[in-house]
Protein backbone atom coordinates (compact mmCIF):
# COMPACT_ATOMS: atom_id res chain seq x y z
CA UNK A 1 0.00 0.00 0.00
CA UNK A 2 2.60 2.53 -0.99
CA UNK A 3 1.84 5.47 -3.20
CA UNK A 4 5.47 6.40 -3.54
CA UNK A 5 6.96 5.56 -6.87
CA UNK A 6 9.98 3.75 -5.43
CA UNK A 7 11.79 6.90 -4.40
CA UNK A 8 10.61 8.95 -7.35
CA UNK A 9 8.46 11.88 -6.30
CA UNK A 10 4.80 11.45 -7.20
CA UNK A 11 3.63 14.46 -9.23
CA UNK A 12 0.17 13.24 -10.05
CA UNK A 13 -2.63 14.73 -7.95
CA UNK A 14 -4.12 11.90 -5.83
CA UNK A 15 -7.85 11.38 -6.17
CA UNK A 16 -10.71 10.01 -8.18
CA UNK A 17 -12.21 12.30 -10.88
CA UNK A 18 -12.02 15.38 -8.71
CA UNK A 19 -8.44 16.46 -9.57
CA UNK A 20 -9.44 16.84 -13.23
CA UNK A 21 -12.66 18.69 -12.33
CA UNK A 22 -11.00 21.10 -9.91
CA UNK A 23 -7.78 21.86 -11.82
CA UNK A 24 -9.60 24.46 -13.93
CA UNK A 25 -10.87 26.35 -10.89
CA UNK A 26 -7.52 26.93 -9.17
CA UNK A 27 -6.60 30.51 -8.38
CA UNK A 28 -3.28 31.91 -7.17
CA UNK A 29 -3.41 32.83 -3.49
CA UNK A 30 -0.99 35.69 -4.13
CA UNK A 31 -2.37 37.48 -7.19
CA UNK A 32 -5.60 35.62 -8.00
CA UNK A 33 -4.29 34.64 -11.42
CA UNK A 34 -5.19 31.30 -12.98
CA UNK A 35 -3.00 28.31 -12.25
CA UNK A 36 -1.62 26.08 -14.95
CA UNK A 37 -0.62 22.47 -14.44
CA UNK A 38 3.01 21.58 -15.17
CA UNK A 39 5.20 18.54 -14.57
CA UNK A 40 5.88 19.26 -10.92
CA UNK A 41 2.51 20.69 -9.95
CA UNK A 42 0.95 24.07 -10.73
CA UNK A 43 2.22 27.50 -11.64
CA UNK A 44 0.52 30.90 -11.64
CA UNK A 45 0.30 32.30 -15.17
CA UNK A 46 0.41 35.85 -13.89
CA UNK A 47 3.03 35.99 -11.12
CA UNK A 48 4.89 32.72 -11.58
CA UNK A 49 4.19 31.40 -8.05
CA UNK A 50 4.75 27.64 -7.99
CA UNK A 51 2.70 25.06 -6.11
CA UNK A 52 4.34 21.64 -5.91
CA UNK A 53 2.74 18.24 -5.66
CA UNK A 54 4.40 16.27 -2.83
CA UNK A 55 3.77 12.52 -2.88
CA UNK A 56 0.55 13.12 -4.81
CA UNK A 57 -0.66 15.91 -2.53
CA UNK A 58 -0.65 19.41 -4.05
CA UNK A 59 0.60 21.97 -1.53
CA UNK A 60 -1.42 25.11 -2.12
CA UNK A 61 0.25 27.24 0.51
CA UNK A 62 3.74 28.56 0.85
CA UNK A 63 4.06 30.26 4.15
CA UNK A 64 7.14 31.23 6.06
CA UNK A 65 4.88 31.50 9.12
CA UNK A 66 6.52 29.38 11.82
CA UNK A 67 3.17 28.64 13.49
CA UNK A 68 1.73 27.17 10.30
CA UNK A 69 4.81 25.13 9.57
CA UNK A 70 4.78 23.67 13.07
CA UNK A 71 1.07 22.90 12.82
CA UNK A 72 1.64 21.21 9.49
CA UNK A 73 4.46 19.12 10.97
CA UNK A 74 2.40 18.07 13.99
CA UNK A 75 -0.79 17.14 12.16
CA UNK A 76 1.07 15.39 9.40
CA UNK A 77 2.69 13.18 12.02
CA UNK A 78 -0.60 12.64 13.85
CA UNK A 79 -2.45 11.66 10.69
CA UNK A 80 0.12 9.06 9.68
CA UNK A 81 0.85 7.70 13.17
CA UNK A 82 -1.73 8.80 15.74
CA UNK A 83 -0.36 9.33 19.24
CA UNK A 84 -2.29 8.51 22.38
CA UNK A 85 -4.04 11.87 22.41
CA UNK A 86 -5.65 11.21 19.06
CA UNK A 87 -7.01 7.79 19.89
CA UNK A 88 -10.48 7.52 21.39
CA UNK A 89 -10.39 6.39 24.98
CA UNK A 90 -12.40 3.34 25.97
CA UNK A 91 -14.83 5.43 28.04
CA UNK A 92 -16.19 7.20 24.97
CA UNK A 93 -19.48 5.89 23.56
CA UNK A 94 -21.19 7.11 20.43
CA UNK A 95 -24.81 7.75 21.40
CA UNK A 96 -28.20 8.26 19.83
CA UNK A 97 -27.99 11.90 20.88
CA UNK A 98 -24.82 12.45 18.89
CA UNK A 99 -26.21 10.52 15.95
CA UNK A 100 -29.28 12.77 15.87
CA UNK A 101 -27.24 15.97 16.05
CA UNK A 102 -24.94 14.75 13.30
CA UNK A 103 -27.82 13.70 11.05
CA UNK A 104 -29.63 16.99 11.58
CA UNK A 105 -26.56 19.04 10.63
CA UNK A 106 -25.92 16.90 7.54
CA UNK A 107 -29.57 17.21 6.48
CA UNK A 108 -28.75 20.76 5.34
CA UNK A 109 -26.51 19.38 2.58
CA UNK A 110 -28.13 18.95 -0.80
CA UNK A 111 -27.73 15.50 -2.36
CA UNK A 112 -24.48 14.93 -4.26
CA UNK A 113 -22.78 18.08 -2.99
CA UNK A 114 -19.23 19.08 -3.82
CA UNK A 115 -17.74 19.43 -0.34
CA UNK A 116 -14.49 21.05 0.76
CA UNK A 117 -13.25 19.92 4.15
CA UNK A 118 -10.83 22.19 6.02
CA UNK A 119 -8.46 20.91 8.71
CA UNK A 120 -9.66 17.41 7.86
CA UNK A 121 -6.74 15.56 9.45
CA UNK A 122 -6.48 11.89 8.54
CA UNK A 123 -9.59 12.01 6.34
CA UNK A 124 -12.08 9.95 8.33
CA UNK A 125 -14.83 12.59 8.05
CA UNK A 126 -14.21 13.17 4.37
CA UNK A 127 -14.46 9.46 3.65
CA UNK A 128 -17.74 9.21 5.52
CA UNK A 129 -19.16 12.20 3.57
CA UNK A 130 -18.06 10.50 0.35
CA UNK A 131 -19.84 7.32 1.42
CA UNK A 132 -23.02 9.39 1.87
CA UNK A 133 -22.90 10.19 -1.82
CA UNK A 134 -21.02 13.49 -1.89
CA UNK A 135 -17.86 14.46 -3.77
CA UNK A 136 -15.15 15.49 -1.35
CA UNK A 137 -12.00 17.54 -1.56
CA UNK A 138 -10.29 16.56 1.67
CA UNK A 139 -7.79 19.15 2.85
CA UNK A 140 -5.55 19.92 5.76
CA UNK A 141 -2.66 22.30 6.25
CA UNK A 142 -0.39 19.24 6.45
CA UNK A 143 0.53 17.50 3.17
CA UNK A 144 1.13 14.26 5.09
CA UNK A 145 -2.46 14.33 6.35
CA UNK A 146 -3.52 14.35 2.69
CA UNK A 147 -1.45 11.25 2.12
CA UNK A 148 -3.10 9.48 5.07
CA UNK A 149 -6.54 10.56 3.85
CA UNK A 150 -5.87 9.28 0.32
CA UNK A 151 -5.12 5.88 1.83
CA UNK A 152 -8.48 5.90 3.63
CA UNK A 153 -10.39 6.95 0.49
CA UNK A 154 -8.76 4.17 -1.50
CA UNK A 155 -9.48 1.61 1.18
CA UNK A 156 -13.14 2.67 1.32
CA UNK A 157 -13.49 2.30 -2.44
CA UNK A 158 -16.77 3.61 -3.84
CA UNK A 159 -17.57 5.45 -7.03
CA UNK A 160 -17.83 9.00 -5.70
CA UNK A 161 -15.22 11.58 -6.55
CA UNK A 162 -12.54 12.66 -4.14
CA UNK A 163 -9.18 14.37 -3.98
CA UNK A 164 -6.74 15.47 -1.31
CA UNK A 165 -4.77 18.70 -0.98
CA UNK A 166 -2.79 20.77 1.50
CA UNK A 167 -4.67 24.04 1.89
CA UNK A 168 -4.40 27.03 4.20
CA UNK A 169 -7.96 27.87 5.26
CA UNK A 170 -6.97 31.55 5.39
CA UNK A 171 -6.04 31.56 1.68
CA UNK A 172 -8.16 29.09 -0.21
CA UNK A 173 -6.75 28.47 -3.65
CA UNK A 174 -10.10 28.20 -5.50
CA UNK A 175 -12.22 30.61 -7.52
CA UNK A 176 -15.32 32.13 -5.93
CA UNK A 177 -18.44 29.96 -5.68
CA UNK A 178 -16.71 26.64 -6.31
CA UNK A 179 -18.19 24.46 -3.53
CA UNK A 180 -21.70 23.42 -2.47
CA UNK A 181 -20.56 22.92 1.09
CA UNK A 182 -17.69 23.34 3.51
CA UNK A 183 -17.19 20.94 6.38
CA UNK A 184 -15.01 21.69 9.39
CA UNK A 185 -14.75 19.30 12.33
CA UNK A 186 -12.99 20.47 15.49
CA UNK A 187 -10.50 22.56 13.54
CA UNK A 188 -11.84 26.12 13.44
CA UNK A 189 -10.87 26.72 17.07
CA UNK A 190 -7.26 26.00 16.12
CA UNK A 191 -7.08 28.42 13.22
CA UNK A 192 -5.51 31.69 14.37
CA UNK A 193 -6.91 33.94 11.61
CA UNK A 194 -10.53 33.04 12.22
CA UNK A 195 -12.04 35.94 10.30
CA UNK A 196 -9.75 35.43 7.34
CA UNK A 197 -11.12 31.87 7.27
CA UNK A 198 -14.69 33.28 7.42
CA UNK A 199 -14.04 35.52 4.40
CA UNK A 200 -12.59 32.64 2.42
CA UNK A 201 -15.42 30.28 3.37
CA UNK A 202 -17.96 32.89 2.26
CA UNK A 203 -16.11 33.45 -1.00
CA UNK A 204 -15.67 29.87 -2.21
CA UNK A 205 -19.15 28.70 -1.20
CA UNK A 206 -21.82 28.81 -3.88
CA UNK A 207 -24.93 30.86 -3.20
CA UNK A 208 -27.26 28.75 -1.09
CA UNK A 209 -24.27 26.62 -0.07
CA UNK A 210 -23.84 25.18 3.41
CA UNK A 211 -21.17 25.45 6.08
CA UNK A 212 -21.09 22.74 8.72
CA UNK A 213 -19.10 23.06 11.92
CA UNK A 214 -19.37 19.50 13.16
CA UNK A 215 -17.89 19.89 16.65
CA UNK A 216 -16.15 22.99 17.94
CA UNK A 217 -15.19 23.19 21.61
CA UNK A 218 -16.76 26.07 23.52
CA UNK A 219 -14.67 28.98 24.74
CA UNK A 220 -15.32 28.57 28.48
CA UNK A 221 -13.60 25.20 28.39
CA UNK A 222 -10.28 26.89 27.69
CA UNK A 223 -10.85 29.62 30.26
CA UNK A 224 -11.70 27.26 33.13
CA UNK A 225 -10.85 23.60 32.59
CA UNK A 226 -7.50 24.03 30.97
CA UNK A 227 -6.01 26.29 33.67
CA UNK A 228 -7.45 23.88 36.25
CA UNK A 229 -5.77 20.91 34.60
CA UNK A 230 -2.57 22.92 34.45
CA UNK A 231 -2.89 23.67 38.16
CA UNK A 232 -3.44 20.01 39.05
CA UNK A 233 -0.45 19.10 36.96
CA UNK A 234 -2.44 16.67 34.82
CA UNK A 235 -1.89 18.43 31.56
CA UNK A 236 1.36 16.75 30.80
CA UNK A 237 3.02 17.04 27.44
CA UNK A 238 3.40 13.29 26.98
CA UNK A 239 -0.28 12.58 27.41
CA UNK A 240 -1.61 15.40 25.35
CA UNK A 241 1.17 15.90 22.85
CA UNK A 242 -0.57 19.15 21.94
CA UNK A 243 -0.08 20.98 18.71
CA UNK A 244 0.94 24.64 18.82
CA UNK A 245 -2.52 25.48 17.48
CA UNK A 246 -4.13 23.75 20.40
CA UNK A 247 -1.90 25.65 22.80
CA UNK A 248 -2.90 28.96 21.29
CA UNK A 249 -6.59 28.33 20.83
CA UNK A 250 -9.45 29.94 22.66
CA UNK A 251 -12.42 27.80 21.70
CA UNK A 252 -15.59 29.06 20.04
CA UNK A 253 -18.34 30.83 21.98
CA UNK A 254 -21.93 31.36 20.82
CA UNK A 255 -21.02 34.96 19.97
CA UNK A 256 -17.98 33.76 17.99
CA UNK A 257 -20.26 31.57 15.87
CA UNK A 258 -22.59 34.49 15.10
CA UNK A 259 -19.63 36.77 14.25
CA UNK A 260 -18.01 34.12 12.07
CA UNK A 261 -21.22 33.64 10.10
CA UNK A 262 -21.65 37.40 9.70
CA UNK A 263 -18.13 37.78 8.34
CA UNK A 264 -18.71 34.91 5.94
CA UNK A 265 -22.07 36.22 4.76
CA UNK A 266 -23.86 33.17 6.13
CA UNK A 267 -27.07 32.74 8.02
CA UNK A 268 -26.97 30.18 10.86
CA UNK A 269 -29.79 27.66 10.45
CA UNK A 270 -28.82 25.25 13.23
CA UNK A 271 -26.80 26.01 16.35
CA UNK A 272 -26.89 22.99 18.62
CA UNK A 273 -25.17 22.87 22.02
CA UNK A 274 -23.61 19.47 22.60
CA UNK A 275 -22.58 17.81 25.90
CA UNK A 276 -23.14 19.25 29.33
CA UNK A 277 -23.19 16.44 31.91
CA UNK A 278 -21.65 14.03 29.43
CA UNK A 279 -18.83 16.50 28.93
CA UNK A 280 -18.29 16.64 32.69
CA UNK A 281 -18.25 12.85 32.88
CA UNK A 282 -15.70 12.54 30.08
CA UNK A 283 -13.52 15.30 31.49
CA UNK A 284 -13.52 13.95 35.03
CA UNK A 285 -12.84 10.41 33.78
CA UNK A 286 -9.97 11.81 31.77
CA UNK A 287 -8.67 13.64 34.84
CA UNK A 288 -8.80 10.41 36.89
CA UNK A 289 -6.99 8.61 34.14
CA UNK A 290 -4.18 11.06 34.41
CA UNK A 291 -4.05 11.18 38.20
CA UNK A 292 -3.95 7.41 38.56
CA UNK A 293 -1.00 5.24 37.82
CA UNK A 294 -0.94 3.81 34.38
CA UNK A 295 -1.69 0.24 35.48
CA UNK A 296 -5.05 1.25 36.95
CA UNK A 297 -6.22 2.99 33.82
CA UNK A 298 -8.24 0.12 32.37
CA UNK A 299 -10.36 -0.16 35.54
CA UNK A 300 -12.04 3.13 34.75
CA UNK A 301 -14.78 3.03 32.19
CA UNK A 302 -18.27 4.16 31.38
CA UNK A 303 -21.20 2.07 30.22
CA UNK A 304 -23.20 2.72 27.10
CA UNK A 305 -26.51 3.07 28.99
CA UNK A 306 -24.99 5.53 31.47
CA UNK A 307 -23.81 7.78 28.69
CA UNK A 308 -27.12 7.39 26.81
CA UNK A 309 -28.95 8.54 29.94
CA UNK A 310 -26.66 11.50 30.48
CA UNK A 311 -27.00 12.62 26.87
CA UNK A 312 -30.80 12.53 27.25
CA UNK A 313 -30.41 14.95 30.15
CA UNK A 314 -27.98 17.00 28.08
CA UNK A 315 -30.61 17.36 25.39
CA UNK A 316 -33.01 18.86 27.98
CA UNK A 317 -30.31 21.12 29.44
CA UNK A 318 -29.65 22.41 25.93
CA UNK A 319 -33.19 23.81 25.90
CA UNK A 320 -32.71 25.95 29.01
CA UNK A 321 -32.11 29.62 28.20
CA UNK A 322 -28.81 30.92 29.51
CA UNK A 323 -27.32 27.52 30.30
CA UNK A 324 -27.69 26.48 26.66
CA UNK A 325 -24.85 28.86 25.80
CA UNK A 326 -22.37 26.82 27.85
CA UNK A 327 -22.12 23.33 26.40
CA UNK A 328 -18.74 21.64 25.87
CA UNK A 329 -19.21 21.61 22.09
CA UNK A 330 -21.21 23.21 19.29
CA UNK A 331 -22.59 21.76 16.10
CA UNK A 332 -23.54 24.40 13.55
CA UNK A 333 -25.04 24.58 10.07
CA UNK A 334 -25.18 27.89 8.17
CA UNK A 335 -26.31 28.87 4.69
CA UNK A 336 -24.81 31.38 2.28
CA UNK A 337 -27.43 34.01 1.65
Applying CB under 5 A, does 47 fall inside the site for Zn ion?
Answer: yes
Question: Which residue stretch of 45-53, 182-190, 201-209, 262-270 sits at the interface with Zn ion (rule: CB under 5 A)?
Answer: 45-53
Nearest distance in Å: CB 37, Zn ion? 15
CA nearest neighbour of 310 among 282, 279, 278: 278
Applying CB under 5 A, does 31 fall inside the site for Zn ion?
Answer: yes
Question: Which residue stretch of 28-36, 204-212, 249-257, 311-319 sits at the interface with Zn ion (rule: CB under 5 A)?
Answer: 28-36
Strand segments, DSSP code E, in 99-218 are 114-118, 135-140, 162-166, 179-184, 205-217
Question: Which residue stretch of 41-49, 169-177, 306-314, 325-333 sits at the interface with Zn ion (rule: CB under 5 A)?
Answer: 41-49
* Helices marked H in 121-274: 124-131, 143-156, 194-204, 219-232, 237-240, 244-248, 254-264
Going by their DSSP bridges, the two strands 329-336 and 205-217 should be labelled as antiparallel
Can you tell me which of 49, 171, 242, 302 binds Zn ion, judged by CB under 5 A? 49
Applying CB under 5 A, does 33 fall inside the site for Zn ion?
Answer: yes
Q: Name which of 62 and 228 has its Cβ closer to Zn ion.
A: 62
CA angle 298, 300, 303 (to 5 degrees): 110
Applying CB under 5 A, does 46 fall inside the site for Zn ion?
Answer: yes
Applying CB under 5 A, does 30 fall inside the site for Zn ion?
Answer: yes
Give the integer Cα–Cα distance in Å for 4 and 25: 27
CA nearest neighbour of 77 among 124, 10, 123, 122: 122
Question: Which residue stretch of 26-34, 116-124, 238-246, 293-301 sits at the interface with Zn ion (rule: CB under 5 A)?
Answer: 26-34
- Structural contact between residues 107 and 219, judged by C-beta atoms closer than 8 angstroms: no
Using CB under 5 A, count the residues that bind Zn ion. Answer: 8
Q: Name which of 26 and 198 has its Cβ closer to Zn ion.
A: 26
Q: Name which of 34 and 262 has its Cβ closer to Zn ion.
A: 34
Binding site for Zn ion (CB under 5 A): 28, 30-31, 33, 44, 46-47, 49
Amino acid sequence: MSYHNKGKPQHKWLGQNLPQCLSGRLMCTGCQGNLQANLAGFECRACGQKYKIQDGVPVFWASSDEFKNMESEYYGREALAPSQSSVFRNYYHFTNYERKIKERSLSFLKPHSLILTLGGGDGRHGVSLCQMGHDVLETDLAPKAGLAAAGKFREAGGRHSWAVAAIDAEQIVFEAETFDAIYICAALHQMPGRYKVAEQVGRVLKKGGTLILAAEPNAWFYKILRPLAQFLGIRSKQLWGQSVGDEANRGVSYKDIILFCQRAGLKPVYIQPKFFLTGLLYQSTEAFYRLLHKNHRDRLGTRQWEVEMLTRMDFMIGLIPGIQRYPFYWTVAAKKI
